[in-house]
Amino acid sequence: MSGPLEGKVALVAGATRGAGRGIAVELGAAGATVYVTGRSTRAHRSEYDRPETIEDTADLVTAAGGQGIAVPADHLDPSAVRQLVGRIADEQGRLDVLVNDIWGGEKLFEWDTPVWEHDLDNGLRLLRLAVETHAVTSHCALPLLLRRPGGLVVEVTDGTAEYNRDTYRVNFFYDLAKASVLRMAFALGHEIGPRGATAVALTPGWMRSEIMLEAYGVREENWRDALAREPHFAISETPRFTGRAVAALAADPDVARFNGSSLSSGGLAREYGFTDLDGSRPDAWRYLVEVQDAGKPADATGYR
Q: Rounded to whole angstroms, how far apart are CA atoms 202 and 35?
A: 19
C-alpha distances out from residue 243 to 82, 182, 202, Å: 25, 18, 10
d(CA 261, CA 199): 8
pLDDT score of 56: 98
pLDDT tier for residue 48 given thresholds of 50, 70 and 90: confident
Catalytic residues: 174
pLDDT band at 47 (very low <50, low <70, confident <90, very high): confident
Please, are residues 130 and 159 in contact by the beta-carbon 8 Å criterion? no
Helix count and strand count (H, E) for the chain: 11, 7
Confidence bin at 1 (pLDDT 50/70/90): low
Query: What percent of the chain has a predicted confidence (pLDDT) above 90?
Result: 96
Q: What is the pLDDT of residues 167-181, one digit of tens each?
A: 999 999 999 999 999
Quick: pLDDT tens for 95-149.
999 999 999 898 999 998 999 999 999 999 999 999 999 999 999 999 999 999 9
Mean pLDDT (whole number) for 276-296: 97
Predicted confidence (pLDDT) per residue in 209-251, tens digit: 999 999 999 999 999 999 999 999 999 999 999 999 999 999 9
The pTM of this model reads: 0.97
User: What mean pLDDT do residues 180-207 have?
Assistant: 98
Enumerate domains of the chain plus CATH numbers: 9-208+238-277 (3.40.50.720)
